Amino acid sequence: MRILSLAGRRLAASIPTLFLILIGVFLLLQLAPGDTVDALMAQMGGGDAATAQELRKFYGLDLSVPAQLGNYLWHLVRLDLGFSSIYGKPVATVILERLPPTILLMTASLSFAFFFGLLFGVIAARGVNRWPDTLISTLGLIFYATPSFWFGLMAIVVFSVYLQWLPPGGFEDIGNVQTGIWRVLDIASHLVLPTLTLGLIFLAIYLRIMRASMLEVLNLDFVRTARAKGLDETRVVTRHVLRNALLPMVTLIGLQAGTMLGGSVVVESVFSLPGLGRLAYESVVQRDLNTLLGIVFVSALLVISVNFVVDLLYARLDPRIAAEG
């Protein structure tokens, strides 16, 4: 209960942050050349000034900027993100359609990076300054420096063009939509390369943090006590060191949630996945500012929710936090 109220308080504290972001980006977008009506008129193939005037009135764009902002926030409270003139649908609908691939991709990449980062970090820390450590640390440095979109392209060349093991892009086989378990497998095979591509840099970060964290915890007194008790090394590591060494890793998930969402913009474009990131890119190119603002709102919301979950997890892993209140 105590944990929940603690995390809840942090959640409440992030509401002003959310408003700050929305107001800031809203005002920023006012500076953009051209508005929704311009984009709409361009799509209709032009029109006269009177039509534009009428459309601006219809979308409330003839009001003053503060009034528009007030309108937007008031609609937002009722979960109405406005209307996307490009897609001809409410922004909320457009975003909801695009959310599942992104969430799936992020969850998969995070699990991949977290699991292998943990594993490699532990292996490197156990053999510190010997060859496994050197190899893993070097690989970590190289992965960190690899541009994700380039890695994605090269993976397509190797695994899709030459070996033909995996599909080069898309979310599922559109020509031949499967059902049930086959559909799941089909989507999974489409997500293997994007997951590796997005997860690579996080794998590098996690393994470095895990290695440092393991080395730090391994030197603490309670580890010596555990060894003195006669526990074998595996037990010392799994039961005593790991849980404590995991804390910085969990903190990192919260800190990196935004970066990961940003990374998915690029990765979804490389693999033409119909996700939120690709939507962000498309709305910039098509000047669909309403949708762009909606994406800003939803991605901030996603980052805040991830941090909420991380707070809960953190408190579970480290009971001292809940006790200190």
Partner 1 sequence: MDAVKRYFRSPAAVIGLILLLLIIAMAVSAGFLYPRDPLALAGRPLVWPFSNPRFLLGTDNSGRDIAAQIFYGARISLLIGGVATVIAILIGILVGAFAGYYGGWVDNVLMRITEAFQTLPNFVLLLVLVAVFGSTLTTVTIAVGVVSWPAPARLTRAEFLSLRNREFVQAGKTLGMRDVQLILGEILPNALPPVIVYASVVMAVAILLESALAFLRLSDPNVASWGNLIGLGRDVLRVQWYVSAIPGIAILVTVLAVSLVGQGLNDALNPRLKSR
Which one among 15, 67, 96, 157 touches partner 1, defined by CB under 8 A?
Answer: 157
Which one among 4, 15, 32, 96 touches partner 1, defined by CB under 8 A?
Answer: 32
Locate 4 and state its tokens: 């929940």
Cα separation values, 104 from 14, 27, 70, 99, 268, Å: 25, 32, 34, 9, 12
Q: Are 193 and 155 in contact (CB under 8 A)?
A: yes
Distance CA 65, CA 29 (A): 11
Q: Which is nearer to partner 1, 104 or 292 (CB)?
A: 292
Q: Which is nearer to partner 1, 167 or 263 (CB)?
A: 263
Cβ-based neighbour number of residue 283 at 10 Å: 23
Locate 52 and state its tokens: 């534009």
231 Rama sector, left if φ>0, alpha if ψ -120 to 50, beta otherwise = beta
Q: Examine residue 210 and tell whether it contacts partner 1 (CB under 8 A).
A: no
Q: Examine residue 218 and tell whether it contacts partner 1 (CB under 8 A).
A: no
Which one among 62, 97, 216, 318 touches partner 1, defined by CB under 8 A?
Answer: 216
Locate 129 and state its tokens: 């300054």
Stretch that binds partner 1, among 12-20, 67-75, 241-249, 314-322 (CB under 8 A): 12-20
Q: Examine residue 94 and tell whether it contacts partner 1 (CB under 8 A).
A: no
- Interaction site with partner 1 (CB under 8 A): 14, 16-18, 20-21, 24-25, 28-29, 31-33, 141-142, 144-151, 153-154, 156-157, 161, 212, 215-216, 255, 258-263, 265-266, 269, 280-281, 284-285, 287, 289, 292, 295-296, 299-300, 303-304
